[in-house]
Amino acid sequence: MGVGAGTMMMASSAIGAVGTLYNISATKAANKREQARYEREALMAKIDAIEQENIRKDHLNQELANNLAFQSTASYYDDSRSFLNINKTATKKAVKDIDNIRIMGKSVTLKYREQMFENDVATAGKVFGGWVSIGQGLTSGYAMYDYYKEKGTTQKWWQV
C-alpha cells in the first residue's frame, strides 16, 4: 500500500510550513541581535560625544588659563576690555563647538534609532509574509489532498 498523491502534497505543505516557521524564528532572532548592536553603537556614540565635549571644555579652560598668564605678564588689567573680549570670544567659540558636538552625537543616536525602526518594520513584514505563506501552503496542500481523496484515485505519488 503506497502513499497517495494528495497525502504527499499535504505532507509537503506541512514540511514547507515548518521551514517557514523556522525562517520566521531566525528573522526575529537576527533582528534582536541587530537591535542590541545598534543600541550598543548608539551608547558608544553618546559616550564619544560626552568625551569630545569634555575635551573641548578642557581646551577652553587651558586657553583661559593661558590668557590669564599672558595678561599678568603683559600688564593688562583684569577688567581690561581687550582681555575680557579675548576670553569672551574664546568662550563663545567653545560654546558653539560644544553645541555642535552635542548635535552630532544626537544625530548619530537618531541614525541608529531610525535603523532600528526600519529593521523592526522589515522584520514585521517578513513575519507577516511567512504566516501568509504558511496559510497558503497548508490550504493548497489540503485542497490537493481533498481533491485526490474525493477523486478516489489509486494513483501513487511516484506515478503523478
From first to last of its 160 residues, what are the pLDDT tens digits of the chain? 466 777 777 888 888 889 899 999 999 999 999 999 999 999 999 999 999 999 999 999 999 888 887 777 766 666 667 777 888 999 999 999 999 999 999 999 999 999 999 999 999 999 999 999 888 888 888 888 777 777 665 555 555 5
Q: Is 44:109 a contact under the CB 8 Å cutoff?
A: no
Query: What pLDDT sits at residue 54?
Result: 95
- Could you identify the residue written with the cell 541581535? 33
DSSP 4: B
Structural element, H or E, at residue 101:
helix 81-151
Query: What pLDDT sits at residue 1?
Result: 45
pTM: 0.67
For residue 106, give the C-alpha cell: 544626537
Q: Report the residue count for the chain.
A: 160
How far is Cα 60 from Cα 52, in angstroms, rounded to an integer?
12
For residue 90, give the C-alpha cell: 574664546
Query: What pLDDT sits at residue 147?
Result: 78
Residue 152 three-state SS: coil
Give the end-to-end CA distance of the chain in Å, rounded to a whole number. 16
Residue from 93, 158, 122 nearest 35 by CA: 122
